[in-house]
Structure 1
Amino acid sequence: MPLRRILAATAAVLLLGATGACGEKASGVTDGRLDVVTAFYPLQFLAERIGGPAVHVTQLTKPGAEPHDVELNPRQVGRISDAGLVVYLAGFQPAVDEAVAQEAKDRAFDAGSAVELLAAGEHEHEPGEEEHAEARGGTDPHVWLDPVRYATIAGRLAERLGQADPAHATAYTERATALRTELTALDAAYAAGLKTCARREIVTSHTAFHYLTDRYGLTEVGITGVSPEAEPSPRRLAEVAERARAAGATTIFFETLVSPKVAETIAREVGARTAVLDPLEGVSEPGADYFSVMRANLTALTAALGCPS
């Protein structure tokens, strides 16, 4: 073969190899940032606040969607497979659990492993609810509604990010410490605001506030259990209405991502009003974040429970 043809062929092979290398993305990295895939909003919030400019964060649950029963498409499973770190809560979203087990078991952080989880609140099980409660042996997944536990998770996440990306470990720790300071202030505001109230029992459409009520000495009566889409039986509706009357409830709470109809039914029955108490499984309002929603929840609680301002 003529020398010039050999040289031309060799140059073509080298050019092809260089082009392919330029088009490849290092596993777990986007634009030099650690790829972090989060299961739903409270975990996205932590990853963004702690990761800062060193991470590229995506969320598996679409904004405005109810996260309990999220289903993953192939592209989302691919993101989990390619991620530098996956942040999830085992037992809360079965589809995410399965994808993590298959694609990212050694690159995953289970937020529930960082703290002691509470048992699911007492309520009447409606069809379809048991699967959520039993996924973690009957524990309640809504741990982010307790600022103290949430701060502990933040610290552990910073450690896990540092293991995945040692070059930025110190920055992750510093941002987690700053976030803990904010969460400590939020906890203090809740403790002060809910310390002395005319009533200490809240009626909610969805048993999602066990961590909050446990932290601040309140009692929650949920119309449904941990699954917000379950339909309560007539017997359960009657039981909740009776308890609401006995407690002198002035407000029946509903949440943002599900229909308020059941709460409105109870409210009409007992002569109460309805108001939003957001479980923060996602945010839908522009500009809203964890802290703004938690402050709005505190305002709603103090008004409903007759707490001094």
Structure 2
Amino acid sequence: MFKKVISYTMIIIITLSLIGCSGKKEEIETQNGKLNVVVSFYAMEEFVKEIGKDKVNVYTIIPEGVEPHDFEPKAKDLRKLENADMLVLNGAGMEHWSKDVIKAVKNEKLKVIDTSQGVNLINISEENGDSSHIGSENTHENLGVDPHLWLGLTTAKIQSENIKNALVELDNANSKYYEENYVAFANELDNLYKDYKVKFDSIANKNFVTGHATFAYLCRDFNLNQISIEGVFAEGEPSPKKMKELTDLCKEKNIKTIFMESLVSPQVSETLAKEVDGKTATIYTLHSKEDNLSYLESMKSNLDIIYNSLK
């Protein structure tokens, strides 16, 4: 999927030349006393806004509706970073472009936050079924770990704490404000976790089917097992042989709900649902804002629909 080393280096060089020649910078608001925070994608935006609230201006690099695994930053994104105080990344290999971009940006004050720091990362391997993936072979360059941390409640809490700590370090005068906002958000995450831990512990069925294997951290939180059509990085459709294996597995485990995601083609999910005499349902991956729901609302919806499919 990522055959972009030479081409992307050229893009960086051209971009820097354009910035240098223009002599202009595209400004984020800087006259209102707020921290200028650039984030990679929507889930990071939500975490920053929950903690920073009206003390931050947030610019999100990856646009709404764009699959982040193949995204490349544009010249305007680099210009935003020229004036930013902080760049917030998910980390764990999610932003494959980050090292090149950070090197290219001329901004000595830029604080880069890898929110995966302190997380017990899940390895991608045949031993753990590539997050129970049954489909095409995974060809992503960064096969080491699953980067979908934000979809686990306990890992999202760690990511949010990393963001809080960075905001406190940059703007210590408002440290109490950030601490209080973090505690409030963390409590909501904890309460959601406690509510659904009881529910999932009460049922024997732990298997659900997703479009691609994004829910390993949620599964670890609640001792669930995702069976995915595509792998961790949404690499492509399964072969007919793998599709048959998936169909047989769904029938064996009596799985009748096949989950679909907005940024992944629904065709295979719909075909699988038809094969097992089941139905499809939408699940949120939070790469983008969906149905105008907040992070907490989206996660509650995910947990509720998974739980109801397992009963």
Structure-1-length-normalised TM-score? 0.83
Alpha-carbon shift at residue 222 of structure 1 (Å)? 0.9
Sequence identity (%): 28
Q: How does 1:143-162 map to 2 (within 5 A)?
A: 143-162=149-168
* Count of paired positions: 279
Give the AA of the match of 1:130: T
**Gaps (5+ residues) in structure 2?**
1-23, 125-130
Alpha-carbon shift at residue 29 of structure 1 (Å)? 4.0
CA contact (8 A) 2:89 2:114 kept: yes
Residue matched to 2:83: 82
Alpha-carbon shift at residue 284 of structure 1 (Å)? 2.8
> Rg: which structure is higher?
1
Change (3 A) 1:64 1:25: closer
The correspondence for 1:260, drawn from 262, 266, 285, is 266
Residue matched to 1:19: none
Alpha-carbon shift at residue 229 of structure 1 (Å)? 5.0
Change (3 A) 1:125 1:131: farther
What secondary structure, in the 3-state scheme, does the structure 2 residue paired with 1:204 have? strand
What secondary structure, in the 3-state scheme, does the structure 1 residue paired with 2:116 have? helix
Alpha-carbon shift at residue 24 of structure 1 (Å)? 9.4
- For residues 295 and 263 of structure 1, the distance between their equivalents in structure 2, rounded to whole angstroms, comes to 22
Residue matched to 1:131: 140
Residue matched to 2:294: 289
Alpha-carbon shift at residue 74 of structure 1 (Å)? 0.3
- For residues 140 and 82 of structure 2, the distance between their equivalents in structure 1, rounded to whole angstroms, comes to 26
Q: How does 1:1-309 map to 2 (within 5 A)?
A: 29-90=30-91, 91-103=93-105, 107-120=111-124, 121-123=131-133, 126=136, 129-131=138-140, 133-134=142-143, 138-228=144-234, 230-286=236-292, 288-306=293-311
- For residues 29 and 167 of structure 2, the distance between their equivalents in structure 1, rounded to whole angstroms, comes to 12
Post-superposition CA distance 1:57-93 (Å, at most 9, x none): 1111112222222221101111123210000123112
State which drifts further: 265-274 or 100-109.
100-109
Q: CA RMSD in A?
A: 2.3
Give the AA of the match of 1:95: W
State which drifts further: 87-96 or 55-64.
87-96
Alpha-carbon shift at residue 150 of structure 1 (Å)? 1.0
CA contact (8 A) 1:193 1:298 kept: no
Give the AA of the match of 2:86: L
State which drifts further: 229-238 or 247-256.
229-238
CA contact (8 A) 1:132 1:227 kept: no
**Gaps (5+ residues) in structure 1?**
1-22
Alpha-carbon shift at residue 133 of structure 1 (Å)? 4.0
What secondary structure, in the 3-state scheme, does the structure 1 residue paired with 2:201 have? coil
CA contact (8 A) 2:157 2:189 kept: yes
Change (3 A) 1:253 1:24: closer
- For residues 65 and 189 of structure 1, the distance between their equivalents in structure 2, rounded to whole angstroms, comes to 32
